[in-house]
A and B are shown apart, each in its own frame.
Chain A
Amino acid sequence: MGFFTMTLTASMFFLLPALGELFDQRSGVLNIGLEGMILMGVLAAVATSTETGNVWLGVVAGMAAGGLMGLIHGFLSISLKVNQVVSGTGIWILGVGLTTYYGLAYVGPVKHTIAPIIGGLTPLFFVGLALVPIFWFILSKTSFGLRVRSVGENPSVAEVSGINISRTRYIGVLVGGMLSGLAGAYLILAYAPSWSISWRVPVTEGRGFIALALVFFSMWRPFLLLVGSFAFGTLWIMGWYLQTVLPGIPIHIFRMIPYLVTVAILVLISTERFRKRAGTPAALGKPYFRGE
């Protein structure tokens, strides 16, 4: 596989969960449990495709598992008004627990994978790519998108204008979870079809957290998110390449680069100049309590 194809393939794994998270955050819900949801997507996809022999059923199962985790996050943080960070942490630990236990039966190379169609890229890649303009259109051009944004911006005003806050946010976490699940299915059926279990370095390698950071980087705009995902896909693959060019430096140093670059970018976009234009959903992270 060429460098370019590898970069695109790696980028998509950042883009999918990040796009879901972007939608989720636009409705005002922060989800730091992305990794747990992606892992559940991986497990459901690998189990379903192995048992049925149908990879597309695996993709659907992955999305369903991710969506279910999203709904649990929603139940905790929307209905029970638990802090979203704590809820996300719980979701993540639960996802890791379920996958390490129920995933044991599927350790090893994946039997059925999704074949590439054009230039080494699988159909899922193009699905992901198509989702960017779709999400942009829904969020910026439809009345539904306006409702989602107003709930993330000012829920009390939104409620006065007749929007159901809980329902809108539930849609947010559901979409976020489903896309994380899709990312898991993509990872295991198309991108890196071998399932290994280790708490320290699960198959996701902490990339869910980069996806989370990318949402902040994108300033909640789908097209900027696409740019960011490609930049980080390149950075991620570059690490492996640099290692062959500079064999004297330990590989793990290169693996740090994407995380450090993300921190640097976050600092940059948090400065006054960018902050004004960033458009952080004002109610992000805050549970809604009527009459507050």
Chain B
Amino acid sequence: MRLRLEKRIAVPPRVSLMVAILSLVLAFAVFSIVFLQSGINPLTGYKEIFRLAFFTKYGLYKVIERTACLLPLTLAFIIPVKAGIWNIGAEGQFYMGAIAATGISFAFPNLPMGVLIPLMILGAMALGGGWAAIVGYLKGKVGVNEIVTTLLLNYVAILTSYTLVVNGPWTDPTRVPYSRQIPANGCIPQIGNTGIPYTIFIAIGLAILLFFFLKKTRLGYEIRACGHSPAGARYSGISFLKISLITMLIGGALAGIAGFHQASGVLGRLRYDISKGWGFYGIVFGLVAGLNPLIAIVVSFFFMGLIYGANNLQMSPEIGMKFGGAAVFIGVMFVIFIASQFFLRYKIRWTRRGG
């Protein structure tokens, strides 16, 4: 008997779900070490993570608010990678979106909300998309490795926000590392008193739209063809430069919307630490979602819930200040979910030697 790997052609939903559940159980088991080190019963810890995130009103609203940010960031990874282009730059595109939105609100503070907010969204999409399109152009035209360029441009974008808000032209003299507040007409309203900005509907709407875009349109087909076989796509007359430019433009615009959401809908200003590495979370979420925009809705909601719960365990009366290991929780969970991809892509078979 010997072990043999077989590539799966399609993954049955039942298998995906099983793998996801087992990954979660394994991640919880591994992370229990950190809980035990802090003198916390792991079962209490996990119960509290779920309770804080999904079973308290305040937590649930917060998780939905963060889903509105992470979902477009996840889509920003999914669309280019469908064409075989690795956008590791959602972080920088997110910053550029936030910068554009904030800048437009400062430039036209007296416009009515109905004009200013669409203008800010368009600006965020344009700057985020344009920032990413540079990479798309270089990739398509010259063949520059997009992974390296997106990583490098992230830092340029982050440093741009530093230039603007840390002793810069936008600095709020009373809150030094932050920008001035975005004028009230530039802050996208929130649903009732939930604290969730209306951007959640934009995010979910985009996910649905992109699902059908990839599946049903000619351009969507060309994108998938490029991802499947770049050479084959070229022979059938698809311009790789065009696909590279368009997918990066869409990806960057999506990340830009997330930047708009965070600046206009959540913080009401630009901060140099506006993202906590969320642009990179999108890569893992996209992968776990099997690059499916609809499943990405569920994945980003669920993961942001777990992360929110872990980050806020201090609020739990049963745990309190004893715990600060949320960053480790995220790392462990991500690595295990990444490893689990193996079982989605390959089938393990035992075969008789020579058989």
Q: What is the interface of chain A, defined by CB distance below 8 A to chain B?
A: 30, 32, 72, 75-76, 80-83, 85-87, 89-98, 100-102, 104, 199-200, 206, 209-210, 212-213, 216, 250, 252-253, 255-256, 259-260, 262-263, 266-267, 270-271, 275, 289
List of 4 A-B pairs having minimum Cβ-Cβ separation, nearest first: A97-B331, A94-B331, A97-B327, A80-B342
- Interface residues in B124-171 (C-beta closer than 8 Å to A): 138, 142-145, 147-149, 151-156, 158-160, 162-163, 166-168
Q: Say what secondary structure dominates the interface of chain A.
A: helix
Q: Say what secondary structure dominates the interface of chain B.
A: helix
**Residues A200 and B273 in contact, CB atoms below 8 Å apart:** yes
In the bound complex, residues from chain B placing their C-beta under 8 Å from that of A206 are 154-155
**Residues A209 and B151 in contact, CB atoms below 8 Å apart:** yes
In the bound complex, residues from chain B placing their C-beta under 8 Å from that of A81 are 342, 345-346
**Residues B155 and A256 in contact, CB atoms below 8 Å apart:** yes
Tell me which of A30, A94, A263 contacts B152 (CB under 8 A).
A263
**Residues B163 and A252 in contact, CB atoms below 8 Å apart:** yes
Whether B330 sits at the interface, judged by CB under 8 Å, is yes
Complex alpha-carbon distance, A252 and B160, angstroms: 7
Complex alpha-carbon distance, A199 and B273, angstroms: 9
Q: CB-nearest residue of chain B relative to A205?
A: B155
**Residues B153 and A93 in contact, CB atoms below 8 Å apart:** no
Complex alpha-carbon distance, A212 and B324, angstroms: 31
In the bound complex, residues from chain B placing their C-beta under 8 Å from that of A256 are 155-156, 159-160
In the bound complex, residues from chain B placing their C-beta under 8 Å from that of A199 are 273, 276-277, 327
**Residues A266 and B284 in contact, CB atoms below 8 Å apart:** no
* A93 CB, min distance to chain B CBs, angstroms: 5
In the bound complex, residues from chain B placing their C-beta under 8 Å from that of A75 are 339
Whether B64 sits at the interface, judged by CB under 8 Å, is no
In the bound complex, residues from chain B placing their C-beta under 8 Å from that of A209 are 148, 151-152, 154-155
Tell me which of A76, A93, A96, A262 contacts B339 (CB under 8 A).
A76
Whether B341 sits at the interface, judged by CB under 8 Å, is yes
Q: CB-nearest residue of chain A relative to B280?
A: A89
Which of the listed residues A85, A90, A96 has the most CB atoms from chain B within 10 Å of its own CB? A90
In the bound complex, residues from chain A placing their C-beta under 8 Å from that of B283 are 85-86, 89
Complex alpha-carbon distance, A220 and B207, angstroms: 41
**Residues A32 and B142 in contact, CB atoms below 8 Å apart:** no
**Residues A200 and B331 in contact, CB atoms below 8 Å apart:** no
* B40 CB, min distance to chain A CBs, angstroms: 14
* B90 CB, min distance to chain A CBs, angstroms: 11
Please, what's the 1-or-0 string for B28-72, where 1 marks a CB less than 8 Å from any CB in chain A?
000000100000000000000000000000000000000000000
Q: Could you give 12 example pairs across A and B, Cβ below 8 Å? A: A30-B147, A80-B342, A82-B339, A85-B283, A97-B330, A206-B155, A213-B152, A252-B160, A255-B159, A256-B160, A263-B153, A266-B149
Tell me which of B142, B156, B338, B339 contacts A260 (CB under 8 A).
B156
Whether B121 sits at the interface, judged by CB under 8 Å, is no
Whether B232 sits at the interface, judged by CB under 8 Å, is no
* A287 CB, min distance to chain B CBs, angstroms: 10
Known: A216-B145, A275-B143. A104 touches B324 (CB 8 A): yes
**Residues A94 and B335 in contact, CB atoms below 8 Å apart:** yes
Complex alpha-carbon distance, A71 and B201, angstroms: 42
Q: CB-nearest residue of chain A relative to B341?
A: A82
* A92 CB, min distance to chain B CBs, angstroms: 7
In the bound complex, residues from chain A placing their C-beta under 8 Å from that of B272 are 200
* A173 CB, min distance to chain B CBs, angstroms: 15
Known: A104-B324, A267-B144. A72 touches B88 (CB 8 A): no
Complex alpha-carbon distance, A259 and B149, angstroms: 9
In the bound complex, residues from chain B placing their C-beta under 8 Å from that of A262 are 152
Whether B86 sits at the interface, judged by CB under 8 Å, is yes
Q: CB-nearest residue of chain A relative to B147?
A: A85
Complex alpha-carbon distance, A90 and B342, angstroms: 15
* B337 CB, min distance to chain A CBs, angstroms: 8
* A113 CB, min distance to chain B CBs, angstroms: 27
Complex alpha-carbon distance, A178 and B324, angstroms: 28
In the bound complex, residues from chain B placing their C-beta under 8 Å from that of A271 are 142
**Residues A93 and B156 in contact, CB atoms below 8 Å apart:** no
Q: CB-nearest residue of chain B relative to A87?
A: B338
In the bound complex, residues from chain A placing their C-beta under 8 Å from that of B339 are 75-76, 80, 82
Q: CB-nearest residue of chain B relative to A212?
A: B148
Whether B118 sits at the interface, judged by CB under 8 Å, is no
**Residues B328 and A263 in contact, CB atoms below 8 Å apart:** no
In the bound complex, residues from chain B placing their C-beta under 8 Å from that of A259 are 152-153, 155-156, 159
**Residues A101 and B325 in contact, CB atoms below 8 Å apart:** yes
Complex alpha-carbon distance, A92 and B280, angstroms: 10
**Residues B152 and A89 in contact, CB atoms below 8 Å apart:** no
Complex alpha-carbon distance, A95 and B88, angstroms: 18
Q: CB-nearest residue of chain A relative to B338?
A: A90
Whether B332 sits at the interface, judged by CB under 8 Å, is yes
In the bound complex, residues from chain A placing their C-beta under 8 Å from that of B346 are 81
In the bound complex, residues from chain B placing their C-beta under 8 Å from that of A96 are 277, 327, 331
**Residues B142 and A267 in contact, CB atoms below 8 Å apart:** yes
Complex alpha-carbon distance, A200 and B166, angstroms: 14
**Residues B145 and A270 in contact, CB atoms below 8 Å apart:** yes
